[in-house]
């Protein structure tokens, strides 16, 4: 993409009421724009990163054999009443149509997915199966001061699995746990993300959260120094010792919840009278689990945890572009033409190799301005072509977050291994 064509620009000043440093950087870099507290527009560069996150998450869900659907955001009142959540879910936005019909805006989708699954599944032979979607969610959060970390409108992946056998349910839950770690690994969050025991509700002793440790986190987790698990605050109150290993050696940390998984048991299936016929002709209860990951929150978490004082440092897998190619203007017209010609060739050759490039072709910008913007935008590698590099028949390469630069030959740049260096 040509940076001269990008309609967004980096900004010096943003509103002071953003408390998350990562969200501040995303706003300054022009990845997102704030419409209201907890409500954001995802701008072109932010959208590219979000799309990459979406692909990683969707591929993981497909790998689990889950089938993708798109459920509505307007969830009829009667569905919420069936589960008692019209009155019981305090974050529900309620809207009324012209004919007086009422809806709750999708905050979570058990009220849709359960009756849908019920329409097609009658016998134990129809189980197990899993359904997922990646869709906008709405939650009427009282406090929405942490930017993308706690939105009132946000993009979320929710997966629901359906089983008639407890062991099958438990096995699938473990598979999802592993898939989640793979997702957080791809997003560069694995070393600071802990599996955290949380309250399980009515049907299970524990549920699990995936908590990423960062000072901007709104949650407090207690990391067990002995076994590596973490427990959240409510569990810590119930279990002064680690429920996994019995150690009392806890380290208190602030964290962001980037995912959560629950065994729901028959909580929602029973509310809709959803049962399956068994092999002997009797009725079997349907067991459900739900598994969430907030995609916009994940974007905000990466910006929060992977940055320095100059800007974001995108992990390769979710960077909007792999390469930020910068041409520096020379004073001399002839030299300038030579710089542009070489920059355009590199831009075109790299794209032919399926390497995504943001090309800073903006005229009239100083080297300082271009480098500052490149650091703020945070693409994994910066390539600079200038009169100085051309005199050495080369291109300067710098990895974001490192100080050292290297010179690669003009004719070698397309064969350069950008993954390893």
CA angle 252, 258, 259 (to 5 degrees): 110
Which residues neighbour 205 within 8 Å (Cβ) at sequence distance 6 or greater? none
Would you say 224 or 328 has its CB closer to Zn ion?
224
Please give the C-alpha separations between residue 232 and each of 29, 240, 250, 276, 378, in angstroms, as whole numbers: 34, 11, 11, 36, 33
CA angle 142, 144, 149 (to 5 degrees): 130
Give the binding range for Zn ion (CB under 5 A) out of 27-35, 240-248, 373-381, 409-417: 240-248
Distance in angstroms (rounded) separating the CA atoms of residues 108 and 209: 16
Q: How far is the CB of 134 from Zn ion (least distance, A)?
A: 34
Partnered with residue 385 across adjacent β-strands are: 327
Which residues between 210 and 239 bind Zn ion (CB under 5 A)?
224, 226-227
Question: Which string of x and - marks every residue 347-386 that binds Zn ion (by CB under 5 A)?
Answer: ----------------------------------------
Q: How far is the CB of 225 from Zn ion (least distance, A)?
A: 8
Please give the C-alpha separations between residue 328 and each of 81, 246, 325, 401, 418, in angstroms, as whole numbers: 63, 60, 10, 21, 22
Would you say 41 or 226 has its CB closer to Zn ion?
226
Q: How far is the CB of 244 from Zn ion (least distance, A)?
A: 4
Would you say 67 or 247 has its CB closer to Zn ion?
247
Q: What distance, in Å, lies between the first and last C-alpha atoms of the chain?
A: 23
Q: Identify the residue whose tokens are 């964290």.
A: 255
Give the binding range for Zn ion (CB under 5 A) out of 241-249, 267-275, 277-285, 299-307: 241-249
Would you say 242 or 302 has its CB closer to Zn ion?
242
Out of 170, 218, 244, 361, the only residue in the binding site for Zn ion (CB under 5 A) is 244
- Establish if 170 lies at the interface with Zn ion (CB under 5 A): no
Helix (H, G, I), strand (E, B) or coil at 289: strand
- β-strands 39-42, 357-360: how paired? unpaired
Would you say 226 or 348 has its CB closer to Zn ion?
226
Would you say 136 or 226 has its CB closer to Zn ion?
226
Out of 130, 242, 298, 376, the only residue in the binding site for Zn ion (CB under 5 A) is 242
Would you say 197 or 379 has its CB closer to Zn ion?
197
Distance in angstroms (rounded) separating the CA atoms of residues 178 and 43: 32
Q: How far is the CB of 406 from Zn ion (least distance, A)?
A: 44
The structure tokens listed for 179 are 């898939």
Distance in angstroms (rounded) separating the CA atoms of residues 383 and 405: 10
Would you say 227 or 407 has its CB closer to Zn ion?
227
Out of 215, 245, 248, 367, the only residue in the binding site for Zn ion (CB under 5 A) is 245
Residues in touch with Zn ion (CB under 5 A): 224, 226-227, 242, 244-245, 247
């Amino acid at each position: 993409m040509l940076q001269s064509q990008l309609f967004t620009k980096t900004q010096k000043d943003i509103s002071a009421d953003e408390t998350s440093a990562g969200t501040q950087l995303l706003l300054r870099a022009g990845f997102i724009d704030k419409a209201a507290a907890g409500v954001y527009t995802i701008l072109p560069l932010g959208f590219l990163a979000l799309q990459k996150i979406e692909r990683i998450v969707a591929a993981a869900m497909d790998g689990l054999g889950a089938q993708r659907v798109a459920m509505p955001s307007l969830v009829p009142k009667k569905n919420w009443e069936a589960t008692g959540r019209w009155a019981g879910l305090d974050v529900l936005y309620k809207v009324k149509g012209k004919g007086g019909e009422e809806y709750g805006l999708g905050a979570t989708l058990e009220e849709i997915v359960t009756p849908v699954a019920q329409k097609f599944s009658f016998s134990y032979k129809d189980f197990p199966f899993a359904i997922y979607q990646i869709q906008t969610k709405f939650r009427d959060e009282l406090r929405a001061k942490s930017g993308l970390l706690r939105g009132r409108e946000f993009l979320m992946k929710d997966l629901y699995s359906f089983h008639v056998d407890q062991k099958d349910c438990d096995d699938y839950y473990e598979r999802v746990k592993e898939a989640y770690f793979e997702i957080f690994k791809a997003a560069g969050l694995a070393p600071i993300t802990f599996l955290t025991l949380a309250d399980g509700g009515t049907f299970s002793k524990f549920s699990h959260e995936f908590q990423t440790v960062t000072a901007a986190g709104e949650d407090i987790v207690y990391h067990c120094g002995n076994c590596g698990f973490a427990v959240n605050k409510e569990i810590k109150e119930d279990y002064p010792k680690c429920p996994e290993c019995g150690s009392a050696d806890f380290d208190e940390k602030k964290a962001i919840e980037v995912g959560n998984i629950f065994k729901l048991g028959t909580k929602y299936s029973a509310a809709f009278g959803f049962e399956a016929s068994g092999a002997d002709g009797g009725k079997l209860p349907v067991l459900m689990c739900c598994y969430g990951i907030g995609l916009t929150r994940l974007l905000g978490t990466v910006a929060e945890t992977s940055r320095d004082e100059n800007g974001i440092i995108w992990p390769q897998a979710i960077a909007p572009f792999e390469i930020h190619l910068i041409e520096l203007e020379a004073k001399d017209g002839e030299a300038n033409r030579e710089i542009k010609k070489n920059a355009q060739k590199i831009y075109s050759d790299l794209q032919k190799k399926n390497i995504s490039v943001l090309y800073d072709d903006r005229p009239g910008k100083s080297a300082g301005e271009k480098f500052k913007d490149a650091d703020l935008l945070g693409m994994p590698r910066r390539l600079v072509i200038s009169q100085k590099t051309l005199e050495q028949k080369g291109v300067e390469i710098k990895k974001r977050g490192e100080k050292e630069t290297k010179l690669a030959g003009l004719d070698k740049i397309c064969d350069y291994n950008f993954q390893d260096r």
